[in-house]
Every structure is written in C-alpha cells, then in structure tokens.
Chains A and B, each alone.
Chain A
Amino acid sequence: MSKILIRGAKVLGGEPQDVLIEGETIAGVGTGLSAEGAEVVDAEGKVLLPGLVDLHTHLREPGREDSETVLTGTRAAASGGYTAVFAMANTFPVADTAGVVEQVWRLGREHGYCDVQPVGAVTVGLEGQKLAELGAMHESAAGVTVFSDDGKCVDDAVIMRRALEYVKAFGGVVAQHAQEPRLTEGAQMNEGVVSAELGLGGWPAVAEESIIARDVLLAEHVGSRVHICHLSTAGSVEIVRWAKSRGIDVTAEVTPHHLLLTDELVRSYNPVYKVNPPLRTERDVTALREALADGTIDIVATDHAPHPHEDKDCEWAAAAMGMVGLETALSVVQETMVDTGLLDWAGVADRMSFKPARIGRATGHGRPLAAGEPANLTLVDTAYRGPVNPAGFASRSRNTPYEGRELPGRVTHTWLRGKATLVDGKLA
C-alpha cells in the first residue's frame, strides 16, 4: 500500500501537522508522524484543505467538446484543487435520461482526475414543460441527487412545485437558476446606471429575486429543500436570509466572479465579462461577501462555463455568456474572503468542500481531515501571488475575466482518494 506523508501542513489553516495517507485513506493526523516507507511532501507554510467540491460546473461533454470535455474539465478541476464536480445538465443531448448521466459519470471515473457527479435536468430538454425521469436518473449508476435546468429557469410554478415535491422521495434537491424569463428578454447586462449609458438590454435584479422569493415559499409549502444557483444580488441575499430565519430548507451558492467583479467592467464591451447572471454592482458584491461570511450563502460554486475563443471574440450582443472558473476559484476566494478577514481557512473548507458535498450528497467528499476518512485533499501555497495566465490552463477554454490580474494563492497538490492528481502545480 502506498504511503504519503504530508509534512508540516497548516491543516484547515491551523497549527502545522503531519498527515499520513495510506492507500485511499487518511491514516493519521498529528505531529512528528513517522515517514518510514512514505513519500514525503514538504508542506511547510502551506494550508491543507479537504478536496474542493464544485456544485456547479459545465463540462460540455457530450455535445460541445470544442469548449470542454470531461477529461479537460476534470484536469482543470484537479488543477484548481477540486476532487468532485457536479456537471450541469445543459449538454447536447441534455442530461435528462439515465443514459446520458451514466455516460458522463463513467467518463469521470475512467479519467480519474476528479469525481464527476452529473446533475440531472429537471425537465425534458430543459424546456420547462414536462418532468424528466428524475427517479431513473437517481437510480442509475450515476446516482443523481441534484437536479437543475441551469441555464434556464424552471419558471412554471406548478412544474417547480412538482419537482420540489417529487425528489423528496429519494433525498434529491432542485437547484434553481433564478431568472424570470419575461423580465430578462433581450437582457445583456445588469440593469442600472451602466446599462442605461451603454444602451445594453437591462437584466433587473428583480428577475432573480422574484423567482427566489417564489421558490422558497414553494419549498416551505411542500416541505422540500431547494438550492439557489449563483445568487448575485443584495436583494436575493435578503430573501434567503429571511427564508432561513423562517426555517425554510434553502441553500444558496455564489460564484467567485460575483464576489469580485462588477458591471463597471462592461464599459469595455469585452465579452469576457458577459455572464449569466450578470455582474452586478459594488453594493451587491459587498452583500454577497458578507452573506458568504455569515452563512446566509452556504457555498461557493464556480459556474465554470467554458466557451471557445470565437464565441467571445465578437461584439457583446453576439457573445456567449459564461466564464471559466475552476482554476481560479480558490484564488478569488482567498482574495475576496480570506485576505479581507471575512473568512478563515476553516471557513473556506466549509464553503468550498464540506457544505457543497452535503448539499449534493457527494459521499466520500467534504469529510473531516481525520484518520479513517477518504484521502481527498488539497494543498495550497497561500503566500503565492501572481498574475493569472490563461495559457497555462488545463481547461480547453480560456474565457477567464482575470487574465493578467494578480491573485493570491496557488494549489500545489491535489489528492483524489490518495492518488495525486496534481503535484507541485503540475497535473499527474
């Protein structure tokens, strides 16, 4: 059995400790552990986290292999410190049957860089009309527990209600892409001061907030849990906070880019800043950071959305929405949450591993760093600071809004069940 001794790592940012991996499992955590027969990784000064879990990734396979595949996407995930990603259902064909979700799940297993947990579509073809075979997807080898029409909103209140109710039978959760479709027809960016000047179609905050308000009330009414994808406005935070105070079983995610960037960037008309939901205002960014710190927002999820170059090298209106995020997420969270004093590293582990694993029922992930637990681990050089270089991405796509921006933190090692997927910043 292979043995790896991670020496002197600040476990969850705490005091330096050694962590011994034997085979697929953490064998021990403590000081002065014996290195006998073990490969030693010097982790002095670095922070050891549980392997990160992304509840919101677009791997694009099947259908858009020109932008990402399960292989390139999971390599990007390993580079970013992730050991499990939830692959969204808006592929071609849509992941709305057991066959498609099993294929995606199996590809993840075969490549071995990162566990891939497919998300099943809520409705057939993401069309919002007819429930997909949610139970069949759950019972498949993929064991789907998270269902989402992400990219589109389940806007029909009755369909949403039924989905929320139906998945209770097997402990599933519906992850809502909150976007009232009529209020966002032709929408190109956040509706406000900047959109008024630029003459770009406005995407009002209320289009997100009204759906969240409706869905938390639906969840309360039918006694289901509901998850809100990529929450982006201060008003959404208030609604989720209110719902939680009422005891409603709601969880919410925020993307790294909504923690850092604002709609002022759209003045450049550079489509790299075009994303759904759109970049909002400084006030929203502040509210999102505070909400992530106080737990109103449960998790960080990347909404990693790869697009080929030509879909971003064009005029704003013609450009695709989305940004890649797996390889920069932890750095952005360090920049916006840790280095600002809003969250410590234990808090980061909670928001980026423990809680997303719990929401998605990802067994074996988001576990404590303790003997007997699966060795899913991420080692971070938090003292590093440097410019983002998309040319070095493992992702097939380069549509990052951070090109050239200096960000802190660099993942140096990732272990998936004891197997190194990233060593000294290089994919194994």
Chain B
Amino acid sequence: MSPFLAGLLQLLALVAALGLAYRPLGDHMARVYTSTRHLRAERWIYRAIGADPSAEMRWPAYLRAVLAFSFVGVLLLYALQRAQGLLPGSLGFASIDPDQAFNTAASFVTNTNWQSYAGEQAMGHLVQTGGLAVQNFVSAAVGMAVAVALVRGFARTRTGELGNFWTDLVRGTVRVLLPISVAGALALVACGAVQNFSGIHGVGQFLGTTQQWNGGAVASQEAIKELGTNGGGYFNANSAHPFENPTPLSNLFQIFLILLIPTALTRTFGRMTGSLKQGYALLATMAVIWTGFTALMLWTESAHRGAAFEIAGGAMEGKETRFGIAGSALFAVATTLTSTGAVNSFHSSYTGFGGGITMLGMQLGEIAPGGVGSGLYGMLIMAVIAVFIAGLMVGRTPEYLGKKIGIREIKLAACYLLVTPALVLGLTAVAMALPTPRESMANAGPHGFSEILYAYTSAANNNGSAFAGLAADTPWFNTTLGIAMLLGRFLPIVLVLALAGSLAEQRSVPATNGTLSTHKPLFSGVLLATILIVTGLTYFPALALGPLAEGLAS
C-alpha cells in the first residue's frame, strides 16, 4: 500500500469516527448549554465564585465577565512563572524572564499556546500542570461560551439576554472537557504517553551511558491540549515527542480529539437554533475545506519538491518514522485549520507549498472546523458576510436564521474580518522593516520571510504552531506576538458578543419565497466561495512573497 493511499484511508477513518461522535456529542453539548438543572458540584463552584448561575447577562455584562476572567488568568499565570524558582514542584527550574512570562501567559489564556520556551528545560510540574494545563481547559471553555452566546443571539428573539458566562464556563469545563479528557488521557497512556511526577533522573542506555529525563503529567495535558485545540506541548518537540504521541494510533486519536468538538458544535448550533440542517450546511463547508486541504497536503509532501528532499528521496526532514508523510500531513492540516497549533512534524521543513497550506489554513480564520467555539463563531461571521453578499446580488435585505443583517450587524462582522489580517500584515511589515527581528531568521530568502509571516499569522489567529527555526525568544517577538495574541483573541470576541446582543434583540422575520435558503448545498457553496475569495484577496500578496515563491522555485 502506498503512503498516499494509507493517508486517504486514515482520512476516511477520521471521517467515520467524527461521524459517529457527531450526534451524541453535539446533542449533549446542546443539552449542557440549555439545561436549567445544576449539578451539585457545579452549585458548589458557583457558591465559591459568588455568582448566581441563573442570572441572565446582556452582552456588555457577558463580555465584562469574559474579559475579567481572562485578565485574571493572564495575571496569575504570569505571576506563577515569575515565581517558579521560589515555589515547590518546580524541578529546581529558575523563574521565567518577564518578556517570556508575559508571552506565555498571553499565549495560554488566548488558547494560542505559542511557545517561546522549550518545555523540558524551562517549566516544572507546578507551572505545567497547575498553570498551563488549567488554561488549556478554561481558555477552551471561554471559546465555547462565546460561541454559545452567539448561537443564543440567533435563537432568541426580542431580548438582550445571552445567558450567564459563569454557568457556560463551568458547564463547558465540567460536563464537556473534563470527562472526555480523562478518557482521552488514559487512552494515550495505554499507547505509551507518560503520566507521573518523577523528578529529573538518569535512564541507562544500550551502550552503558545515561540519558537525563524529566517525567511529568504529560498524558493528562496532552488530552486537553488536543481536545481544547490548545496545542502547547509538554516537550519542545510537541506531538513529535514519543512521550506525547507514542504510536501511529495515538497520532490518529490526537487528530480525532482536535477535530471532535469543533465539528460537533455545528450540531449543537443546529439543535439550539431549531434546524439541524443549518448546522449541516456549515459542516459541509468545513468538511470540503478540510478534505481539500488534506488531499493537497498529501500530494505536495509526497511529491517532495525542494533540493534537499529530492536528494534524500523524500520530505522526511522534521517528520517521525512512525507517522510518515501521511500521518504528518493529516496532523498538520488539522492543527492549522483549527486553532490548535500542536505539531507532530515541523512545518518549517515541509515543502514550499506544504508550508503555504499550513499558513493559508490559519489565514482562513481557522474555521474549518476551527478552534473549540472560535471555529463556530468565526464560521457564523463568514455566514453573515456570505448572506450579505448574496443579498446584494439579488437586491434583498439579507437575513440569516430569521434575523435581519442590517447596518450594525454587517459593520460588526466586517470589523471582525479585518482584525486578524490587520495584525498579521501590519506586524509582519514592521518586523521586516526593522533590522533586529530579521536576525532571528534561521533560513534565508522567501523561507526567512515565511518564518515571520507564519509567526504573526499563528499568533493573531491564536494557533500557536510555528516555522520554529525563528529564534522567537527575544523581547521584540515575545512582546509583539503576545500583543497580537491578546488583540487577535479579544477584539473578535468583543465584536461577536456585540453582534450576539444585537441579534438577540431583534424579532424573528418569517421566511418568505424570496428568503435565501441557508440550509441547502447552494449556500454551502456560496459560503465556501466567500471564505476563499475574502482570504485570498487579503493574503495573496504576502503568500506570493513567501511559500508560493519557495514552492514555485523548487
């Protein structure tokens, strides 16, 4: 069997597994976010927070709660790293420098998990398990909460109320993320991922020498790293490290975890808005992009164009033997079409076009299927834009799910679309114009430019993967990438919640003969075209200077 065929079969296996989980998980999440019952443990948590879980919030209140919770998260994670050297459970590692601690705190709270440190030599048990992994849970739960608030905006009429942030946060964590993570972590241990709290210790080697290892709660962090589309590895090599991702089966399972919640949320959306078909239409667009990108990636990596790969006879630089081209290509596409950013192979050593595919995946806004929550709200923004464009073409007031897309709504959606490109292209331009940032490049020519374009694309879209040759642990990159992550996360959230509030206030417009059917394949096609055209127009010049130039020259 050729690796290409094996890759296609793995893709089919993923489709089947995601299909099996789609209904039960999507319906479960719909119940989680609509139920009026509170679990006993949850009541205890609400009492500790001092929040009334049944109190409804309008969008400004919901937003303030999101921002307050995230602000405290950045502060606490920063403090924890700065104090690491003084605290127990640090393996004796020193405190983290201010710029790197800020970068890492911003990174994990924004669900980005960009890492300018190498885990095994910098972060002890306390920071990894009590700080970073906690944000893996709660940043994912925040994303889901915001998405659900937007769905409520479509589902509810003549009210400004979007639900209760604390309830959504706690339920998402306790009823969705935790149970799946426990099962997922144990499955990963069964494959060989480590799970212990041992200190740094020597392990004997075949020829009599020893290797120094540190243990850690790796599997438990790994499960939520993928499930919450976070992506921050316990070790520097992330999911290429055999202790994080030991076998081909664990690899496929990790890709499954990455895609699980973002795809199932389209079902939750359909359930909550009363039309499952609306969810299927979004899912169809996501699926077409995902399978298309995966097929392209399998092709370009198998063709291994590029001088070094042609001499070697295959693009295996930065790839693990057990995953091969196929297992690596599948992972790379899944991680960049979501906001994950975990890697099982190093994108910087992909072919020119392969690197371009990973960048374009993020630049689409990570919506196919996207991050947990952020994928759904990103896709819904694109749906609003698509409805608007279709409305212009036929000269009717655009409507989506019975809500009029008026001036205020389209302004908010358009601003959402502008945030990340402005950050990515603006900061890339500034970094390229300054002398010092360019000294961080590991490769020359178009690939060097790609390293910087990739870094800002990854940060502003909250992905976290990298063309990791770039020496990013400098005050410039730590600071600007940290700011890009914060603005790239929270400005869109402000706009999404404002949109949700304005939609929830509207009354529902009854569908007529002239209403565009947004649950049909035609709409999925319009949505797909909108996404590709908007992203293409925005990023083509930058991509042409980097990965396209590299790919065409090889």
Are A and B interaction partners?
Answer: no
Q: Which residues of A contact B (CB under 8 A)?
A: none
Which residues in B have some Cβ–Cβ distance to A below 8 Å?
none
